[in-house]
Structure 1
């Protein structure tokens, strides 16, 4: 063996992760390594170029950057980089530059993969570093996405322009013209705190056109008569992503940004667009302009294109699920508008409910419709139900035409079983919690994730409070829910290999919803009920669960990462199927994943399995009998 190779072996043996490799592996490795010299300031690898080598710093110093140009890491002798590109898509994900004159060992792609596949300690160390493997993977995804880190106050370029509530439309138009703005915040005097005006509404160019000019009103009309009251706002430290979702959810184009109850500025649609992962805001706008069900159904290709592009641009599963749920919510709201226009006004007040993934804001492109209806306690079936049956049928049929398939279990407002007065819902939920049965527990897993999308939406919040209060104080019910949450286990065998379907249409595949995201959502719901959380989204529930300290230290973040990664794999599979011209589903073949994805998915399933063991320990499902 040549002296240079002996030197390489001696260096590698002194540094992890090579120190655990057997001598023969080190000797083979030494014969494959090339050595390159880079002067200070020289670019070693560029973002997006083909990933050909794994790099180990022999001497000098190297800086590794995120794609947005911010520093990710600084490496000296023994440090390494480039593994993420080799394990992921074969493209450099983190560019690197020599900080000082540096000697770098270049290990060929195939050699690196051979070490990674055949030496578990080596692979673990490369992935783990100072954090868990999955946490490292997910933090890199988060670092690469501005939507998850930038706050709305970074979009504000000027102070908000305000006007008193007693001003006229003419004065408002003059003010907007002089200030060069497209919206004004309308404020009133605050009798309790004189120097803190009350925000009473917002006036936009569109309001002047549609509510003043188009209605033939005079220019002396008070702004209070044409403004939009009940303003949707965001706080200065909320994420741009959250502001985007607020626009999607409420179909608004201007968001006042508040700080300490004072308006800091206004974020407009145009400010959000440059941070948007695709034009889902435009899709929602098109939904509300649709004049009939056929026009809504014609938007399905746009909705699917939105989904594909969001996934392709590596938006987080949390973001994709929230945006797709907002789109689905918009479709449902527009169908309800169209139904009321056709049927006339409702005979009694009502609230149309979204259930399941739409309510949790975790919807992907493969989804069925789960919905229900709350009617006022004055509801008389003989006089009123024909109208609500027609409304529900119109909406459920319309949703089916728009890609939201009928619920095979009949959990839809078109089923008279799920059109109930508010008092009946209160009694039903109380009965499910106090006297649980196998059937009611299955329903609880669907109906306890509920959100109002139309009408008296405060009724949905009222029911969530009842659920939260009664479930939190009922150990037997929690034990029953925990038992149900343990029925679906992760698809891992005794030796931690994947267990796939052995027959049927999806042979050698895993239903990643039934065996992955579904069980995770179920166990997170149990913990959320136990702490009295009223959050709907599983990620939001996890944050409250972590704050409540009901899980061992670090387990909450593990669950967060596992849910995000499994959901990401599921979303990517559906997007790939759509892009290939196939109908998407939830069945993935683990052999078609990269080595990196398989290992990370296995890690996520192991986290799920351990979380189920803890669920069994904490809530003792055996006492549910």
Structure 2
């Protein structure tokens, strides 16, 4: 093959849909290509004129227009156009004009039709828009991801062992021993059909019965767990894993409607996924001091990398990392209470930001706060809670969760307040949405209780959802704030990068990627009164209310997933190379596949921000 043709072939293989194309197809393309040059400002394709070529941009930039003359898209090196006319009637449906001096490869229609009929990946690519290509790319990942497709029923190896909730302590222990199980399901038999009312585990027998020296005739209902966490037969194993991580439970009843089909234990998932983050979590709970936790924290990056290698999706990875972070916090709180004694009044330790959203990665600091019982008296009680907060914060720092540079931590007295004060905070931020209030809203409106009286944070979630959804002014101001961070996509669909400093020639996949998506989705979620915290769950709630079009929800979900997974892979590669992981990416370090689909994802985010601006009219708030 001539040197010029080799150069053409090499360039094609750097861009979709040619990067995964079989050699024989590439040879057919290269041997038939013609090269055309267009000066800036000249027409390449005119509306309704015949077109017999697929156009590939070798260099330069091209503007694509709608029939109305409205600008439709700008494309640059490695992108194609003209395919829609070839698929319809061989006439131009979207006119094209050279924005810069441009070199174009012309692929004849007969070659295009051959590829369309014989290469499924090529067909998928040319028939779809940006968002559909994203969906196709993500679908291929999901199909190869076994942990995502295995159901919890695979882990059920026996019928559930049950007993009436009226049995006595000794009888319950005997049943568990005879049947060789570590958990006993307790049924309420008063109705027409027995219903699940509680569970008792080996650990419960030790901590609630033996340690308290309870009589053998104690009703089992006195010590059973009543507020059960369950899963369903249709759930995936990874969903069960996330449920255990989030709720700190070791046994999950598996339900089919109102019927119990079995019980899965933490050990079942650990055996199925031998390198699961659950294994790390279970070890965290066994540590007796901060030194042990610090030693164990060194395994977190390795767990993260393993999940990336196994093609887990961003929701699974983010939830697992957040679950690990929660567990470190929970164990530190337990150790702190052992050291300082029981709390003088009830409290809830509250996670904020990415941990609350189940979107935490390995590059993270600590954002937390305390919600105290309304009987809290600073003079009598605050010395204890300050000491506890400091113990936890210092311990988290030793475990790799750096101090928050903005002092959003429970060690700050402002963020260590009774429930009634937190409600006043939130009410004031919503009613008076000044700059600081909007900043606080972005931080504190992603919240989750992780230890103590969890009902306090559940009450706050409801309070926020109800009050924010009824304040159009607040939503408009929050929407305006959400438009401050834009995706790094330039005028010609090129990446916009930092111009100076250590991060020159890079763009930040958190600040300019996942964060803008989280911000705009938070606004929509608050508008529809959702209590959800996770971005994917918020999107689901938004979709149910029809606040934005259904395809808009799907496109945002795909865009967020793709940006997040590129960010995750970047951090994993840095860890494997022995570098400090960060969020700053150089385009040349990305694969052609990643570069192409990141542009698609950023385009979706840009369109979503335009809709946000239209939906809430934030411009109207500028003079308020």
Take 2:328 and 2:311, find their aligned partners in 1: how far apart are those partners? 25
1:21 alignment counterpart: none
CA contact (8 A) 2:18 2:26 kept: no
Name the CA distance, whole Å, in 2 between partners of 1:240 and 1:521. 26
TM superposition shift of 1:547: 1.8
Q: Is the 8 A contact 1:523 1:615 kept in 2?
A: yes
CA distance in 2, matches of 1:515, 1:326: 25
Q: How much has 1:212 moved relative to structure 2?
A: 5.5
SS at 1:256's partner residue?
strand
Deviation at 1:523, TM superposition (A): 0.2
TM superposition shift of 1:538: 0.2
d(CA) in 2 for partners of 1:383, 1:119:
68
TM-score for both structures, normalised by structure 1:
0.79
* SS of residue matched to 2:443: helix
- After superposition, residues 341-352 of structure 1 pair within 5 angstroms as 341-352=338-349
1:140 aligns with 2:140: yes
Q: Which residue pairs with 1:372 in the alignment?
A: 369
Q: Structure 2-normalised TM-score?
A: 0.80
How far off is 1:195 after superposition? 1.5
Q: 1:526 to 1:277 in 2, by over 3 A?
A: farther
Is residue 591 from structure 1 mapped to residue 557 from structure 2 by the alignment? no
8 Å Cα contact 1:87-1:594 kept in structure 2: no
**Do the aligned residues in 2 keep the contact of 1:146 with 1:275 (CA within 8 Å)?**
no
Question: Structure 2 vs 1, CA of residues 347 and 178 (structure 1 numbering), >3 Å: closer, same or farther?
Answer: closer
- The 1-side partners of 2:30 and 2:594 are apart by 19
- The range that moved more, 158-167 or 395-404, is 158-167
Deviation readout 1:329-374 (Å, 9 max, x if unpaired): 0011111111111111111111111000000000000011111111
Which runs of 5 or more structure 1 residues have no equivalent in the other structure?
1-26, 33-52, 55-82, 93-103
Q: Pick the aligned partner of 2:520 from 523, 528, 532.
A: 523
Q: Does the Cα contact within 8 Å between 1:277 and 1:309 map onto a contact in 2?
A: no
1:460 corresponds to 2:457: yes
Matches for 1:239-258 after TM superposition, within 5 Å:
239-258=236-255
Q: How many angstroms apart in 1 are the aligned matches of 2:79 and 2:300?
A: 44
Q: Which residue of 1 aligns with 2:125?
A: 127
- Range moving further from structure 2, 546-555 or 523-532: 546-555
Correspondence for 2:162: 162
Q: Distance in 2 between matches of 1:156 and 1:450?
A: 34
How far has the Cα of 1:124 moved from its partner? 8.1
Structure 1 residue 562 corresponds to structure 2 residue 526? no
| Alignment partner of 1:481 out of 467, 472, 478 | 478
Q: How does 1:323-472 map to 2 (within 5 A)?
A: 323-472=320-469
1:539-567: CA deviations, max 9, x gaps?
00011112211223411111001111111
Tell whether the 8 Å contact from 2:350 to 2:451 is kept in structure 1 after alignment: yes
1:410-441 per-position Cα deviation (integer Å, ceiling 9, x unaligned): 11110111111111111110111011100100
Q: Which residue of 2 aligns with 1:57?
A: none
1:293 Cα offset (Å): 1.2
Q: How far 1:111 sits from its partner (Å)?
A: 6.0
Answer yes or no: is the 8 Å Cα contact 2:349–2:449 preserved in 1. Answer: yes
Which string of whole-angstrom CA distances, capped at 9 and with x for unpartnered residues, describes residues 140-173 of structure 1? 1122223334432343333311012233444334
C-alpha distance after superposition, 1:480-535 (max 9, x if no partner): 00000000111111111001111111111111100000111000000001111110
Q: Which residue of 2 aligns with 1:95?
A: none
CA distance in 2, matches of 1:584, 1:443: 27
With 428-437 and 543-552 compared, the bigger mean Cα shift is at 543-552
Matched, 1:196 2:194: yes
Aligned to 1:512: 509
1:236 is matched with which residue: 223, 233, 236?
A: 233
Aligned to 1:584, the other structure's residue is in SS state coil
Structure 1 residues 170 and 135: CA distance shift in structure 2, 3 A: same
Provide the rounded CA distance (Å) in 1 between the counterparts of 2:345 and 2:209.
31
Cα distance in 2, alignment partners of residues 85 and 129 from structure 1: 11
* 1:566 counterpart SS class: helix
The 8 Å contact of residues 251 and 285 in structure 1, kept in 2 or not, is answered as no
Name the SS for the 2:299 alignment partner.
Answer: helix
Q: Contact conserved, 1:147 with 1:275, CA < 8 A, in 2?
A: no
Question: Contact 2:5 / 2:30 at 8 angstroms: preserved in 1?
Answer: no
How many residue pairs get aligned? The number is 537
The secondary structure found in structure 1 opposite 2:371 is strand
Q: Conserved in 1, the CA contact under 8 Å of 2:188 and 2:194?
A: no
CA deviation after TM superposition for structure 1 residue 227, in Å: 4.3
Structure 1: distance between partners of 2:208 and 2:373: 31
**In structure 2, what is the equivalent of residue 578 of structure 1?**
575
Give 1:296-307 correspondences, 5 Å limit. Answer: 296-307=293-304
d(CA) in 1 for partners of 2:17 and 2:496? Answer: 28
Question: In the alignment, is the contact (CA less than 8 A) between 2:16 and 2:596 conserved in 1?
Answer: no
The 5 A counterparts of 1:179-218 are 179-190=179-190, 193-197=191-195, 199-208=196-205
Q: Distance in 2 between matches of 1:128 and 1:144?
A: 23
Structure 1 contact 350–456 (Cα < 8 Å) conserved: yes
Deviation at 1:206, TM superposition (A): 4.4
Q: Structure 1's 28 and 159: CA in aligned 2 closer, same or farther, altered over 3 A?
A: same
C-alpha deviations, 1:62-119, integer Å up to 9, x for none? Answer: xxxxxxxxxxxxxxxxxxxxx999847x9x9xxxxxxxxxxx945469969x979656
- Equivalent position SS for 1:360: coil
